[in-house]
Homo-oligomer: A and B are copies of this chain.
């Protein structure tokens, strides 16, 4: 008996899903569920395709209370730019959590991942950054740098943004972009130490393999969200900073100790903090910043729970707006 499967293209998803407080709320809800321990989230399936300088990751999670669960496939093929193609792609498949039947194919080419990643940054900022953020700094100048600033601005309406990038021209362009998008002051800052010194909220969004943010730069009343490291070879934050901070928070401990900043701190023999709290526990109020002067760090590796949340949300939003097409299968 043929059944309806909903298909949404990238353009349709871009029209239906925006990086707004609603999307952030759904991702926050996913973290809250993760914090209760009731989410089922298997380890990431990861396959390298060395002949094409590629890799593919598959993430999923079942969140009680969500009608569907997503399976997200994220290929990264890093020779693609030479072929005139983007490195990152992928899609999400949404299944009914009651019957396992395919409900929707979300052909987002990574757009929903961008949104749910930035939304996680906003969740971290909402629950961990000091209440008063005058200046936000972002390290990195790509799409995610801009999205992280957009998302964080929704929960901490800062006055200005500083942008650092290894490529000064890209940092300038990124700052101009952010200034235009948010309608606030934004400028490139070539000195990363100064960027951190002048910011109360810093988000790192690079694929760095050596720290770009030194422990000496920490100062009272600073929150850092590190979202660049999602592989064993990456490291943005000086491992000593994780120890020096008043509070280090993982999106998922089992992932961060393999793929995040925590991995580097463990590898350096510096981490003696035992099992750190997870962002979901912070959302649920089990721990958190206890004064404006504390230094907090949140390590985001990206969770299947965020994918299930954003995919479920995207289907609802698209149906509401009448977007998409249906195929009988």
Shortest Cβ distance from A253 into chain B, in angstroms? 19
Q: Does A52 contact B (CB under 8 A)?
A: yes
The answer to whether A40 and B45 have CB atoms under 8 Å apart is: no
Q: Which residues of B contact A91 (CB under 8 A)?
A: 93, 102
The answer to whether A97 and B58 have CB atoms under 8 Å apart is: no
Q: A80-B100, A101-B85 are in contact. Are A73 and B93 (CB under 8 A)?
A: yes
The answer to whether B99 and A80 have CB atoms under 8 Å apart is: yes
Q: Does A5 contact B (CB under 8 A)?
A: yes
Q: Which residues of B contact A54 (CB under 8 A)?
A: 97, 99-100
Of B5, B9, B95, B327, which one neighbours A329 at CB under 8 angstroms? B9
The answer to whether B60 and A45 have CB atoms under 8 Å apart is: yes
Shortest Cβ distance from A102 into chain B, in angstroms? 6
Q: Which residues of B contact A69 (CB under 8 A)?
A: 47, 49, 56
Of B40, B51, B80, B105, which one neighbours A47 at CB under 8 angstroms? B40
Which residue of chain B has the shortest Cβ distance to A55 in the bound complex?
B100
Q: In the complex, A160 Cα to B260 Cα: how many Å? A: 60
Q: Does A321 contact B (CB under 8 A)?
A: no
- Top 6 A-B pairs, shortest CB-CB distance: A75-B100, A77-B100, A45-B45, A107-B329, A9-B329, A42-B47
Q: Does A328 contact B (CB under 8 A)?
A: yes
The answer to whether B52 and A98 have CB atoms under 8 Å apart is: yes
Per the 8 Å Cβ criterion, residues 64-122 of A in contact with B are 64, 69, 71, 73, 75-77, 80, 83, 85, 89-91, 93, 95, 97-102, 105, 107, 109
Which residue of chain B has the shortest Cβ distance to A100 in the bound complex?
B75
4 more A-B contacts (CB under 8 A) besides A47-B61, A58-B71, A89-B102? A7-B327, A58-B60, A75-B95, A83-B99
Q: Which residues of B contact A90 (CB under 8 A)?
A: 102
Q: Which residues of B contact A47 (CB under 8 A)?
A: 40-42, 60-62, 69
Q: Which residues of B contact A61 (CB under 8 A)?
A: 47
Q: In the complex, A89 Cα to B3 Cα: how many Å? A: 12
Q: Does A10 contact B (CB under 8 A)?
A: yes
Which residue of chain B has the shortest Cβ distance to A48 in the bound complex?
B40
Q: Does A46 contact B (CB under 8 A)?
A: yes
Residue-by-residue, is A126-146 near B (CB-CB < 8 Å gives 1, otherwise 0)?
000000000000000000000
Which residue of chain B has the shortest Cβ distance to A105 in the bound complex?
B105
Shortest Cβ distance from A207 into chain B, in angstroms? 17
Shortest Cβ distance from A66 into chain B, in angstroms? 11
The answer to whether A52 and B102 have CB atoms under 8 Å apart is: no
Q: A9-B327, A45-B42 are in contact. Are A56 and B102 (CB under 8 A)?
A: no
The answer to whether A71 and B56 have CB atoms under 8 Å apart is: yes
The answer to whether B101 and A75 have CB atoms under 8 Å apart is: yes
Shortest Cβ distance from A128 into chain B, in angstroms? 29
Q: Which residues of B contact A51 (CB under 8 A)?
A: 64, 97
